[in-house]
Amino acid sequence: MDHDHDVYNTTRREFLRLAGGLALGGGMSGLLPGGAWAAGSDAPEKKEVRIGFIPLTDCASVVMAAVNKFDEKYGIRIIPTKEASWASVRDKLVNGELDAAHVLYGLVYGVQMGVGGPKKDMNVLMTLNNNGQAITLSNQLRDKGAIDGASLAKLVAKREREYTFAQTFPTGTHAMWLYYWLAAQGINPMKDVKTITVPPPQMVANMRVGNMDGYCVGEPWNNRAIVDNIGFTAVTTQDIWTDHPEKVLGTTAEWVAKYPNTARAMTAAIIEAGRWIDASLSNKQKTADTIASKAYVNTDSEVIVARMLGRYNNGLPGAQNRTWDDRNAMKFFNDGMAPFPYLSDGMWFMTQHKRWGLLKDEPDYLAVAKKVNRIDIYRQAAAAAGAAVPKSDMRSSKLIDGTVWDGKDPKKYAASFKVRA
């Protein structure tokens, strides 16, 4: 522990020295007494921050930053506030009722580009998690022989009736995973099936009464469908894109401009919380027990913890049943790789918004991502938290259909898909 403590203190001292120097354009002259910023102080301008969240397992690092008091270390108090829907999160961010939020990556870019609601300049401060979502199909589909992508495609092609699939927000991550997976099976989500929007905690109840045949959502609402015997897991999102970006810590550009020190403190506290969650199985168990309560996710701890620990069961009966330990289950830290707001991740959502006709014009993908993803603030926060930072602002990934995304030619990539709007 002492060694870690020394590393942390050294990192923080170095960070303050560099930051102070940068603020005045160089050298030690930037430091004021007590390691303050040249602009006056590195103290947070706002001591209390209201961070909105939706009842999902991946709100965990925001909640644990408050519960474990990582926030106090950085001179702030995080107040997690439970919201009913992603539309409500969007509206409260835009009108300033929330300081920041646990929010869908694609929602932030949708607001930035004025897609599906108000247009406002937004910022992504960090990625909250990778992986850990899934697509659930109903037991009725199973009884018709649709248990995976290929068998679902055959059923949809018969056109016996219109099949309905739910996602959680039109520009959000779940919509993009659902559309990407359907398209990879040759099913056009805009033409061959009907898609609807349902808030995450309402997915299970809606499937129970037959409002949809399948849905894409975050945990624990896929595992809950299995426990309640109304559906099964057809595919996990980590199978669609391993270590995909998911929720982010999002806010408005205006808020960050007004409270830069607070933005940095909040980001550092949540980086620390994510590292703590990922550090051990017992920390994950404690996290599941905490977020299971009524104030947060409001479901049984066992339903949350299984998939948080990577213990998966697909929920199919008999010979089709499969259980596995998923090494790509939800990650909050992953040696500093998970929370980094890669520019290529932000750009990917815009390529899919373009693919599905949500964006009419071709954006300047890289310029927009550089504006939205505040890598500058993230690097400062990571230095304060003693977290490693990836060498590059871009990364390369191979998705379920074999295509590689590396952010190098987003325009070509967006136009390359056979199945599109």
**Does the residue 303 lie in any domain?**
no
Is the model's pLDDT at 35 over the cut of 80? no
pLDDT value, residue 40: 63
How does pLDDT run across 120-178, given as a tens digit for each residue? Answer: 999 999 999 999 999 999 999 999 999 999 999 999 999 999 999 999 999 999 999 99
Task: Kindly state the tokens that stand for 89.
Answer: 């999160």
pLDDT confidence band for 297 (50 / 70 / 90): very high
* Total domains present in the chain: 3
**What does the DSSP assignment read for 300-321?**
-HHHHHHHHTTEEE----GGG-
pLDDT value, residue 28: 26
pLDDT value, residue 15: 45
- Whether residue 140 is found in the same domain as residue 212: yes
How does pLDDT run across 334-357, given as a tens digit for each residue? Answer: 999 999 999 999 999 999 999 999
What is d(CA 154, CA 350) in angstroms, rounded to the nearest whole number? 30
- Whether residue 210 is found in the same domain as residue 271: no
pLDDT value, residue 31: 28
- Whether residue 54 is found in the same domain as residue 173: no
Distance of CA 374 to the CA centre of its chain: 16
Number of Cβ atoms within 10 Å of the Cβ of 384? 24
Task: Kindly state the tokens that stand for 165.
Answer: 């699939």
Could you tell me which residues come within 8 angstroms of residue 143 by beta carbon, excluding any fewer than 6 positions away?
none
* Element holding 14 (H helix, E strand): helix 2-23
- Whether residue 75 is found in the same domain as residue 149: no
Is the model's pLDDT at 38 over the cut of 50? no
Is the model's pLDDT at 14 over the cut of 70? no
Mean pLDDT of all residues in 226-230:
98
Which residues constitute the domain of residue 109? 46-129+246-279+332-415
**Does the residue 56 lie in any domain?**
yes
Q: Taking a C-beta distance cutoff of 8 angstroms, is the pair 105, 246 a contact?
A: yes
What is d(CA 157, CA 75) in angstroms, rounded to the nearest whole number? 58
**Does the residue 275 lie in any domain?**
yes
- Whether residue 19 is found in the same domain as residue 120: no
What is d(CA 29, CA 105) in angstroms, rounded to the nearest whole number? 39
Is the model's pLDDT at 2 over the cut of 70? no
| Average pLDDT across the chain, whole number | 92
Task: Kindly state the tokens that stand for 119.
Answer: 């247009």
**Does the residue 317 lie in any domain?**
yes
pLDDT value, residue 41: 81
Task: Kindly state the tokens that stand for 6.
Answer: 């020394």
Helix (H/G/I), strand (E/B), else coil: 32? strand
- Bridge partners of residue 166, in order along the sequence: 196, 215
What is d(CA 417, CA 293) in angstroms, rounded to the nearest whole number? 43
- Whether residue 188 is found in the same domain as residue 97: no
- Whether residue 221 is found in the same domain as residue 165: yes
- Bridge partners of residue 126, in order along the sequence: 249
pLDDT value, residue 331: 98
What is d(CA 219, CA 238) in angstroms, rounded to the nearest whole number? 13
Mean pLDDT of all residues in 367-394:
98
pLDDT value, residue 61: 98
**Does the residue 378 lie in any domain?**
yes
Task: Kindly state the tokens that stand for 377.
Answer: 């603030």
Least confident of 15-19, 247-251, 260-264, 348-352: 15-19
What is d(CA 305, CA 301) in angstroms, rounded to the nearest whole number? 6
What is d(CA 177, CA 148) in angstroms, rounded to the nearest whole number? 15
**Does the residue 208 lie in any domain?**
yes
What is d(CA 41, CA 28) in angstroms, rounded to the nearest whole number? 15
Strands 247-252 and 122-127: antiparallel
CATH number reported for the structural domain that contains residue 218 in this entry: 3.40.190.10
- Whether residue 193 is found in the same domain as residue 313: yes
**Does the residue 64 lie in any domain?**
yes
How does pLDDT run across 39-50, given as a tens digit for each residue? Answer: 568 899 999 999
Task: Kindly state the tokens that stand for 68.
Answer: 């474990």
Last residue of a domain, one of 325, 355, 381: 325
Least confident of 15-29, 80-94, 138-152, 212-226: 15-29
- Whether residue 79 is found in the same domain as residue 25: no
Is the model's pLDDT at 33 over the cut of 60? no
Least confident of 4-8, 183-187, 202-206, 229-233: 4-8
* Element holding 239 (H helix, E strand): helix 237-240
- Whether residue 63 is found in the same domain as residue 147: no
Give residue 46's identity as a one-letter amino acid code. Answer: K
- Whether residue 320 is found in the same domain as residue 343: no
pLDDT value, residue 16: 44
Could you tell me which residues come within 8 angstroms of residue 234 by beta carbon, excluding any fewer than 6 positions away?
134, 135, 136, 137, 147, 148, 149, 152, 214, 314
**Does the residue 298 lie in any domain?**
no
How does pLDDT run across 327-336, given as a tens digit for each residue? Answer: 999 999 999 9
Q: Taking a C-beta distance cutoff of 8 angstroms, is the pair 231, 139 a contact?
A: yes
- Whether residue 151 is found in the same domain as residue 255: no
Is the model's pLDDT at 6 over the cut of 60? no
Task: Kindly state the tokens that stand for 28.
Answer: 């030690």
Q: In the 8-state DSSP scheme, what is residue 397?
A: E
What is d(CA 270, CA 290) in angstroms, rounded to the nearest whole number? 16
Task: Kindly state the tokens that stand for 418.
Answer: 């056979």
For the chain, helix (H) and strand (E) counts, in that order, are: 19, 14
What is d(CA 132, CA 142) in angstroms, rounded to the nearest whole number? 23
The predicted model scores a pTM of 0.91
Is the model's pLDDT at 23 over the cut of 60? no
Tokens 């709100």 belong to which residue? 59
Q: Taking a C-beta distance cutoff of 8 angstroms, is the pair 118, 111 a contact?
A: yes
What is d(CA 167, CA 197) in angstroms, rounded to the nearest whole number? 5
pLDDT value, residue 19: 42
pLDDT value, residue 117: 84
> Sign of the C-alpha dihedral, residues 222, 224, 226, 228?
negative
Is the model's pLDDT at 25 over the cut of 90? no
Strands 133-138 and 214-218: antiparallel
Last residue of a domain, one of 257, 291, 325: 325
pLDDT value, residue 39: 52
Q: Taking a C-beta distance cutoff of 8 angstroms, is the pair 82, 297 a contact?
A: no
